[in-house]
Structure 1
Amino acid sequence: MQARGEPSPLYEPAGGPWDEDPDSFTVGLPLEDTALALPADLLDTLRSWSLSGPPHDERGLTATQRLARHLGPSWAVRYWEERRRTVKWVCWGCDRLHWERDSHGAPPHPVDITVEGEFKYGPLRSDGFGDFFPDDPAAALDLSDGLVADLYTWAKGIDDTLNLELRDREDGKNDAEWERLFREGSALAQRLAHELGPSRTVTYKGLANGGLAAITSVSRRGGRQV
C-alpha cells in the first residue's frame, strides 16, 4: 500500500508473492480486481487517498488497516510509512504494524466458520475456537447489528422448538417449524458469508436437532459457493 498519485495504491511484487524487497512492488493491482471484492466505500476511500499522493496521512493507515481486515489471512498487506521511509506488515486481526510477516504464528481469530443450529449452543463455531455468538469480541467478526440480532433469534428459536418437542412428545408436530428454521439458517449463513467477504469461509451445516433432513454442508466465501 502506497499512495503514488495513481488510481490504485495497491502494488504486487514483480518477483512473486514471496518477494519481500520493497523496491520490487511495482506491479499495480486495480482496486476493481474481482479477487479483492472491495466494498464500494472502501474502494472510493483507497482511490481518493492514492490520488492524493505523498506525503501520507492517517487516512492511508486507517484505510490499509480496513483493507487488511477485509482481505483477511489469505492476503498479506504491507504499508509504506512515508514519514519514516519504512514498510511494515499490517495484521488483519489486531490492526497493528509488524516487522515480521507472520508475527502471530497463527490467525488470531477464527477463519473457517460453521453455522449450525444446536440446542443450547451458539450458532457459530470454529475448530480450536468452539461455539460462539456473533458479537463475541474475541471472534472479531464486526457484523451488522441486524445480522447479529437475527442469529441470536435463530438460536433461540431452536432452543424453544426443542423444548416444545420435549414437553409435548408428539412426533411430527414441529416438523414445519424445523423446516423453517433450516431454511432460515441457510439464509443467515449466506448473509454471514457476504458480510465477512472472501477472507473467511462460512459453512452451513443445518440443524443438529432437526433430524437427518436438516443436515447439510454448504460452504461459501463472500458471494461465491466453494
Structure 2
Amino acid sequence: MHEFQQIWLRPDAPSPLSVGGPAGEPVTPDAPELGLSAELRSELGAWVAAFPAGLPRSSEPIRRHLRAGRRVARRLAGELGPGWLVRCHDHVHDCWQLVCWQCDAFHWRVAPHEPPEGSRTVEVCAEYGFWPLRFDGDPRRDFAPDDAWFALPIGDALVDGLYGWSAGVRRHVDALIGVHGAEAAPTREELVTQGARLATALAGELGPGWTVGYGGVAH
C-alpha cells in the first residue's frame, strides 16, 4: 500500500498550511520537510495576504481568489509530489478539494495518468460523501461541477446550485443519523425535486451532443 502524508491549505487560517487535519499542526512554507521553492513560498504568501476577508462567499473577489488558490495548490502539489495528499479549502462552497500533483483535477493518484476519454454522458446523483456528478454514470467516477479535469461548460450559478444540493444531502443524512449539532436539513422530497431541476438546467447549459441522466437521491 502506498503511504502518503496529508497537508491542508486555507488562506484565512492562523497558518495557511497544516498537517494532520484542517485544524491540525501548523507548518510554515519554509519548513525543511516540505522543501518548497522560494518562488512558491513567495507566491503562497502573496495569495494569503490577498484574501478578501469579510466579503460574501459568492462575490467575484472571493471567486477570483479561489481560482488563484487552486493554481497555488496545484503548484504546491506538484512540488510535493505523489507522496503528499494536498487539500485546498473552497471558500465559495465551504468544502475541501483534493489537488492532484500532475493535473488540474480534484483527485489524488499515485501514478502519472491521462485525461478521461471524451465522453459526453453525465449523471446527476446525490450520495453522501460523493460529488454530485458522475462521469458516464459510473458511481466510482464522481466529480465536482467545476472540476477542471472534466471542464463542463456551465455557469457559476449552476455550479453553486449543484454544490448547494450536495451540501443539502449531507445535512439531510446528518439529521437522519442524529449527528450532534446537525444543521437544519431539507427533506428527501425537496432534494429529489431540486435535483431534477438541476439535471434539467445542466442539460440545457451543456446543450446538444450531451446526455444528462438523473439518478435521484441515494438516501
Q: Taking structure 1 as the reference length, what is the TM-score of the superposition?
A: 0.41
Compare the two structures and name the one with the higher helix fraction. Answer: 1
Q: Taking structure 2 as the reference length, what is the TM-score of the superposition?
A: 0.42
Say which one has the larger Rg.
1
